[in-house]
Structure 1
Amino acid sequence: MKREGVATVEGRAIGWTAAVLAVGPILVITQFAHGSWIAPSMFLLLLISMPFAFFHGAVPLAAGIVVGGWLGERRAAFRHPLVWVAVGVVGGWAMAPVVAGYLPGAFAGSLIAGGAAALIARRFVGWTEPVAPSPAPSYSRADDV
């Protein structure tokens, strides 16, 4: 829906898809780097983590992308990637108790995964600035002569 004088947001669906698919592997990689455990088959574990992360991250990521897109339509400052990362870290902090029930030491990983997922989503979300209406042509009698 086009509104006069307001930027329009595009790419929310692809941003959500990319972020949801990436958040599980990011969380697994942070656990691996943290040293909580070592997986013999890291690739298989990364694939298995995608449905887990989809289950836990789909709704928070969708809400963040919709709200971030809406705010970005109204104020250009909300389009900055660091704002999206900060909001993603806060979202990761809110989801940390849920993730910590499954993974030991997942608090820092949840913060990193939230910020990274928000940055990935922001990569695909864009805004189109409104085009200023062109002035109406002026017709006068002097032009007819």
Structure 2
Amino acid sequence: MTPTLEPTKTNLDPWFDQLVAMLRSHQVQLETETASPELTNFYKIVLSGNDDQMGFLHKVTAQKHFVGKIIVDYIQLLGKRQPRKLAFDFNDSEVLVWAEISDDDAEMERFLILTEARINAKYHDFGFDMTTMLVEANDGMPVPNHYQIFID
């Protein structure tokens, strides 16, 4: 985890100045109806004071943030050593990987398991994990419909 900075006048003043400037920018966008639908929806929820909707918004925002980072990190860790087929899905707190490898490719299987472990070591403390389904080409299994194909 990233260490937390202690709040001091040196770092608080610029942070609050940037926050207020961003809020004013959002206010202008909302007043002139130039805000994106996402920004408009965010403020509708915040202004409503509905704790359940705000909690759900927070969950969706965190999910987008972490799922995106996990997939990018995973692809970077794979580098040029990629399986024959690769697809992704996700649920509330987990990125699902579907990987097809060549028959009896124990080296690739080990590499993918270790790559998953590296991702889990990095993101588990944030409540997100990765689970990989490995199949061999010989198995003849299609990528499940709910997965998004990355390599076909």
What TM-score do the two structures reach when normalised by structure 1? Answer: 0.33
Q: Could you say which structure has the higher helix fraction?
A: 1
Q: Could you say which structure has the higher strand fraction?
A: 2
What TM-score do the two structures reach when normalised by structure 2? Answer: 0.31
